[in-house]
Amino acid sequence: VAVMVKSVPWLLFAAIVGGASNSLIGNLGLITKIYFPREVVPLSTLLSALFDFSISLTGLIVVLTGIGLFTGQASPITLGLGLLCVVPLLALLIIMAAGFGLIFSCANVFFRDVKYIVQVMLQFGIFFSLVYFSYTELGEWGWLLLINPVAPLLEAMRMAVIDGSIAPELYPWLVYSAAVSIGGFLAAALIFEKAEYLFAEYA
């Protein structure tokens, strides 16, 4: 159950980053002929990713609800105020993904091999984002994986959905993830804006 809860937001993160990183290269003809805010191109991948996420989320809710109904056991979803924490956690994950998407899409215009690096990072990143296990299951060294800013957000979502609350020891890591999400997005947007006028030249 924990894996399902964390895999759905991870797939959203991977879809945004992967789609955005290739978006500028895939629309070079449009970029070189028409002027418009170039940020629209990578950020537009958010819409398609969110649409897929909504379908996956609906399926997840049906499955988790069905587990309780058909097994005769209590539903793994803990209803309560803790469940509301999923909304800001998901928002931070989307902001973080958008920031990575902006910077990778920009870098991919100048260095075409970036898309392959992103693919490898996303392929293996799932193993370092605590999707398949919890940091508590790894013993005293489990906290090292929380250095990955995606991991605390996924762990907090799992706790909010299944446990109904987030463990206090995870709060500092959530502050860290929030700082990376917001600060990273602002920095990526600034870098993107500074490099935007060179896109047509390198295209």
Q: Please write the tens of the pLDDT for every residue from 8-38.
A: 999 999 999 999 888 878 777 777 677 767 7
70 or 40, which is more confident? Answer: 40
Task: Quote the CA–CA distance of 17 and 42 in Å, as a whole number.
Answer: 9
Task: Quote the CA–CA distance of 182 and 153 in Å, as a whole number.
Answer: 13
Residue 142: per-residue pLDDT: 83
Q: Nearest 5 degrees, angle CA 163-CA 142-CA 84?
A: 25
Q: pLDDT tens across 108-124, in order?
A: 888 888 888 999 999 99
Counted residue by residue, the chain has a size of 203
Q: Nearest 5 degrees, angle CA 163-CA 166-CA 171?
A: 165
Residue 39 CB partners (closer than 8 Å, separation 6+): 102, 189, 192, 193
Task: Quote the CA–CA distance of 83 and 54 in Å, as a whole number.
Answer: 17
Average pLDDT over residues 31-56: 84
Residue recorded with tokens 């215009």: 109
Helix (H, G, I), strand (E, B) or coil at 80: coil
Q: How far is CA 138 from CA 3, 130, 141, 150, 162, in A?
A: 15, 10, 6, 17, 19
Residue 196: per-residue pLDDT: 79
Task: Quote the CA–CA distance of 44 and 172 in Å, as a whole number.
Answer: 32
Residue type, 35: Y
Residue 113: per-residue pLDDT: 85
Whether this prediction's pTM lies above 0.85 is answered by yes
The gap from C-alpha 5 to its chain's centroid, in whole angstroms, comes to 13
Residue 75: per-residue pLDDT: 64
Residue 93: per-residue pLDDT: 97
Question: Is residue 199 a contact partner of residue 38, using CB atoms and an 8 Å limit?
Answer: yes
